[in-house]
Structure 1
Amino acid sequence: MKPNRKWLLLFLLVWLLLFLSLLRHFLDLRSSSLPRSRSAAAAGLTRTETRRLASVQGRIRTLRPAGASESDWRRRRNDFRSRYEAYYRSRSLEILQRLWSGNLTVGMLSPRLQKVLKVQLSSNRHQVVQRRSRGRRRSGLQLYCELKRRTRIRTVDGTEEPFSGLGWDQLVPSLPLQELWTSQYQSCAVVTSAGAVLNSSLGREIDSHDAVLRFNAAPTMGFERDVGSKTTIRIINSQIVARPQHEFSSSSLYQDVPLLVWDPAQYSANLTEWFQKPDFDLFSAYAERRRLRPQQPFYILHPEFIWSLWDLIQDNTEDQIQPNPPSSGFTGILLMMSLCREVSVYEFIPSVRRTDLCHYYERYHDAACTLGAYHPLMYEKLLIQRINQGDQDQLRRKGKVTLKGFRTVQCVS
């Protein structure tokens, strides 16, 4: 028995040494791969940049010389990352400067964003009727007068089918949106939800205006230093009222303030078809809110008005724009220009704080939030820049555009 036990112990010892050798080899391989997986995160890059960097780094690794040391290769990789970040910053600044001067074109955008825009152009889910001839370039005053002539705020008033047959003439507010305020505001602010508002310290300036327009789920609590605390009216899309996660029925964001909700119908604006099949069911939540809170001014933007703004943008843009409805931001700007003598718009056209962070109140990054994918955002921004009355320093530092109210613009008939 003793010889057998010796052989058994020897076998176990050899097996243990072999196992430890394999384990050490595995751990060495794993540790050598860690710097590569952490390099982008350590640089503080966004998810989009990380993917781009990883893609290029992956191609460079395949060319690594067999005799190159790990330290030499790490130095080359860090050098590449530095050059990439410098390129990214310079490219962003170039795009901003083009946008500030009104000379930005699709060809200057990143290949990824160009591809996204191309996909949107090829899609026409709203059955938009494209016209062959597109807009000529008007002067600033001519454009102001064109906007004034064609901006006619319209909401669902319950007099058209199918709403009239449902008794909505008694459900909607009796006072039209344009008459909600007894006197015209002197100074108004439109505060976008852009990530660039974060750390802007604009709160006190924003609150100094007579009226402040905000969008969707953008909060003020906890962000007063940057966005202020005053809210005079809030524009929301149909997702806010339809999706449970937004807590429309209970959230304080949507109480004790006038609301304007919108949902895109087809371009032809068949109200019966729209009522039967909206993008999101806004009608049930709207009717419930009006019954529970009849004193709260709550309006539905008429889809014909939404698409009239699309026509307006296309008629004043030489390029073909996305066949999708304009953004809430553009709609809100024209609304306040109809109600106020002067309008200050913050971070619709981005400042030097421009970032891929979509909203100041949540951590989601996407360059399309600034220059547009679904909405024709880039063309909206270029249009607003053409009528900007403020100086470029205000635009650069604050992302602030200053606009005249329509009533102050003198147009020749």
Structure 2
Amino acid sequence: MPGALEKFNRLNSRSLSNDAVHEKGPTPDILPDNLNKVKGNILEKDKGNDAVAKLKTPASSVKVWNENSSSKNLIPRLQKVRNNYLSMNKYNVTYRGKRNAVKVNSEKLLCQLRDKVNVTMIQGLDSPFNTSEWHNYLPRKKLSDATGRLGRCAVVSSAGSLKSSHLGPEIDGHDAVLRFNGAPTKGFQQDVGEKTTIRLVNSQLVTVEEHNFLTESLYNTGILIVWDPAPYHAEIHEWYRKLDYNFLETYKKYRSQHPEQLFYILNPKMEWELWDILQENSLEDIQPNPPSSGMLGIIIMMTICDEVNVYEFIPSKRQTDICHYYQKFHDHACTMGAYHPLMFEKNLVKYLNQGTDYNIYAHGKVTLPGFRNLRC
């Protein structure tokens, strides 16, 4: 979202990055205040303070994401963009929840995510999808039933910092792998792997012809999930009448062409339930726009997996302002966010990380627990 008023649905060369931009992790060198310096080859989180990395082995300084990042860390252009989105309030956000002046402990926050964010797909019983017109299109099987119980899962961003990472074999070693939008594996297997279990796509990609959703074979592998921004806490029938992108006809065409491939529509209530938790745990106003595909995908996998490893959502030592590993598009917004409240999403993910800061530095890897193993 490079322009101050560039919306989710604006089409130009940069719109290819609109949503995918925000689940990526390059950190621009001009934003040093956004990074915490820690020392050590092997780092361990201090149980008393998640923002502190404990030194175990002396070594050179490394930088990791500062989970207390704020709008002060944004370059002037992105500060202006953020303020414009706050003023626009396209989705009529009227947040009346509480604000946590002091961080809740990570275990409590995980339980809040589990209990307050309902990860569900549109079903045939949901009005207005409960008609004969939709009877043969929506999958009857729940996502969790379709995947079965999953152990270790990977969420792979499309960040430019995945280039030369050599993470492919590690990623493919997971029980399931989630990818985003049009991120390819062919030609990039060494860095991103080739396994695709689930692909989360935004409604713009599905709808706009130039993305070739109906003809590109990349989308024919694994389970598909599409999401579309909805008005703040709108009911399904309200969202149905006011889609950001009217992807439904293309959805039907794809289902007719690939009847055996599971293709879900994400219940739009989820995005704002998640947004509320992001806002509740942020000291300042976050962008009144839905969370990024990256954040949505992380929560989806935490719902169906025992453990989730997220790659390059939080940037590693390979930080770059190249947005995607498969394109040559540059923009600081790919790290810090513009349309989406990406910076605040990363703050939350970093705070919840159960891995080490060294894993973030070396591999861009964050480890999160699955919700079903929590004791709340």
User: TM-score when scaled to structure 2?
Assistant: 0.82
CA distance, structure 2, for counterparts of residue 293 and residue 109 of structure 1: 44
Q: Is the 8 A contact 2:287 2:339 kept in 1?
A: yes
Residue of 191, 205, 212 corresponding to 2:177: 212
* 8 Å contact kept, 2:122–2:267: yes
1:298 aligns with 2:237: no
Cα deviation 1:142-169 (Å, max 9, x = unaligned)? 1111112123211111223322235324
Deviations 1:191-236 (A, max 9, x none): 0011111111111111111111000000000111110111110000
Counterpart residue identity of residue 31, structure 2: S
Gap regions ≥5 residues in structure 2: 4-27, 38-63
Q: Provide the rounded CA distance (Å) in 2 between the counterparts of 1:362 and 1:166.
A: 42
Distance change in 2, residues 1:145/1:272 (3 Å): closer
What residue in structure 2 maps to residue 144 of structure 1? 110
- Mapped partners of 2:319, 2:84: distance in 1: 25
Counterpart residue identity of residue 271, structure 1: I
Matching residue of 1:71:
none
The one-letter code of the counterpart of 2:309 is S
Counterpart of 1:64 in structure 2 is none
Larger Rg computed on CA atoms: 1
Which residue of 91, 95, 104 maps to 2:34? 95
Asked if 1 retains the 8 angstrom alpha-carbon contact of 2:224 and 2:263, the reply is: yes
8 Å CA contact 1:262, 1:301 repeated in 2? yes
One of 169, 172, 187 as aligned partner of 2:138: 172
Amino acid at match of 1:360: Y
- Within-5 A mapping of 1:63-102: 89=29, 91-97=30-36, 100-102=65-67
Match of residue 225 from structure 1: 190
Taking a change above 3 Å as real, the CA distance of residues 294 and 263 of structure 1, as seen in their structure-2 partners, is: same
Q: Could you tell me how far apart the structure 1 residues matched to 2:278 and 2:145 are?
A: 26
Amino acid across the alignment from 2:166: S
Partner of 1:405: 370
Select 1:277's aligned residue among 228, 233, 242.
242
Q: Identity of aligned pairs, percent?
A: 47
Q: Name the structure 1 match of 2:315.
A: 350
Partner Cα distance (2:366, 2:206) in 1? 30
Query: Is the aligned partner of 1:250 residue 2:215?
Result: yes
Residue among 151, 157, 166 paired with 1:201: 166
Counterpart of 1:337?
A: 302
Report the Cα offset of residue 180 of structure 1.
Answer: 1.0
Greater share of residues in helix: 1
**AA matched with 1:223:** F
Report deviation, 1:404. Answer: 1.0
RMSD: 1.9
Q: 1:289 pairs with 235, 251, 254, which one? A: 254
How many residue pairs get matched? 324
TM-score by length of 1: 0.75
Is residue 159–residue 169 contact of structure 1 (8 Å, CA) maintained in 2? no
Is residue 314 from structure 1 mapped to residue 279 from structure 2 by the alignment? yes
Counterparts of 1:160 and 1:232, CA distance in 2:
26
Letter in 2 for 1:97: N
The correspondence of residues 32-43 of structure 1 with structure 2, limited to 5 A, is: none
Q: Which moved more, 1:373-382 or 1:102-111?
A: 102-111
- In structure 1, C-alpha distance between the alignment counterparts of 2:205 and 2:73, rounded to whole Å: 34
Tell me what 1:366 maps to: 331
Structure 1, gaps ≥5 residues long: 1-46, 49-87
Q: Which amino acid aligns with 1:157?
A: Q
Residue identity opposite 1:395 in structure 2: I
Report the equivalent of 1:394.
Answer: 359
